[in-house]
Amino acid sequence: MCDNCGRNSAENHPFSYENVEKLTKYLKERVSIVPQIGIICGTGLGVVTKLLTDSTIFDYKDIPDFPVSTVPGHHGRLLFGRIGSTPVVVIQGRFYFYEGNPLWKCTLPVRVMKLLGVSTLIMSNAAGAINSSYNVGDIMLVRDHINLLTFGGNNPLRGPNDDKFGPRFGTMNDAYDRRILVEAKGVVKSLGMSGVQEGVYACIGGPSFETVAELRALRKLGADAVGMSTVHEVVVARHCGLKCFAFCLITNKCSMEYDSKEKQYHEEHLMVGKQREDDLKNFVEKLVLRLTEGNLA
């Protein structure tokens, strides 16, 4: 039995193919665009929506059976449009585990994007720097991740598996598409962007930030940055065959010493996002163009 829904049948699970298909049908009847690329905007990174032309906007509350975002800085909108000539769908407002959502609900938009026609997923997030060489305002291209929620037995694929989405057991050694990462590095070089890193992202449940001991443990495990999202979206995206790319905006340096006076606040994440708004917008725009031209979208 799935603990999240209390039903034995995959067909009755709210994460099932049939139920997601019904939700997707509502959207398809109201938009003419068939998106190739899906984009999930992290905290303070909604600037990507300014790139869209020919846009159609849905508030989450108006979509039947769709969750509603409650986190400050997340507008709670689903947007269809084009970046250049590429049709895209944008999630502006995540659903977080720490809000009390089961992980199948947090990752529901990924399944919706799959059934809308998306083949490539671009994700962004705000993260704290564990790597001491990183600075606030840096952008980290994600090479791999450490899924602390799965370490504790909490995985978005837990429960009945729906084979229409993907196999019961999936590999994650190719979680982040290497070809897209190469293209992203090319975009960084062409734009002359500074403060760009490549590293490993660790995901915790939140909403409390990490203790000094926890951060030191994550550093020993090989994490360069830490946050509260993205990883479970990647797990579900790879399960249903989507190519994935993710990047972090480093919004704070983690407190690795007990005598540190630094405190973390959600508001500072929004502020840093505003400061690098133009870089982030240009980066995503050029990346979408390169993926389309290289047939990686």
Rounded Cα–Cα distance for residues 158 and 9 (Å): 13
Residue 12 lies in a domain: no
Does residue 94 form part of some domain? yes
Residue 39 lies in a domain: yes
Domain extent at residue 23: 17-253+262-293
Query: Nearest-CA neighbor of 71 among 253, 267, 279, 277?
Result: 267
174 secondary structure, DSSP code: T
Tell me the CATH number at 31: 3.40.50.1580
Write down the pLDDT at residue 268: 64
Going by their DSSP bridges, the two strands 225-227 and 86-92 should be labelled as unpaired
Secondary structure of residue 99 in the 3-state scheme: helix
pLDDT the model gives residue 44: 65
Structural domain count of the chain = 1
Question: Residue 27 has which token pair?
Answer: 């959207």
Q: Is there a domain that residue 163 lies in?
A: yes
- Is residue 120 a part of any domain in this protein? yes
pLDDT averages per 10-residue partition of the chain, 297 residues: 41 74 96 97 83 96 88 81 97 92 94 98 96 96 97 92 93 96 98 97 95 97 97 98 97 90 64 84 96 90
pTM as predicted: 0.92
**What is the residue-wise DSSP string for 4-47?**
TT--S-TTTSTTSHHHHHHHHHHHHTT-----SEEEEE-TT-GG
- Give domain status of residue 1, yes or no: no
Determine contact, residues 121/245, Cβ cutoff 8 Å: yes
Instruction: For residue 282, give every residue at least 6 positions away whose Cβ sits within 8 Å of its Cβ, in sequence order, or none.
Output: 191
How high is the pLDDT of residue 11? 46
* Residue 14 contacts residue 247 (beta carbons within 8 Å): no
Domain assignment present for 49: yes
11 within some domain: no
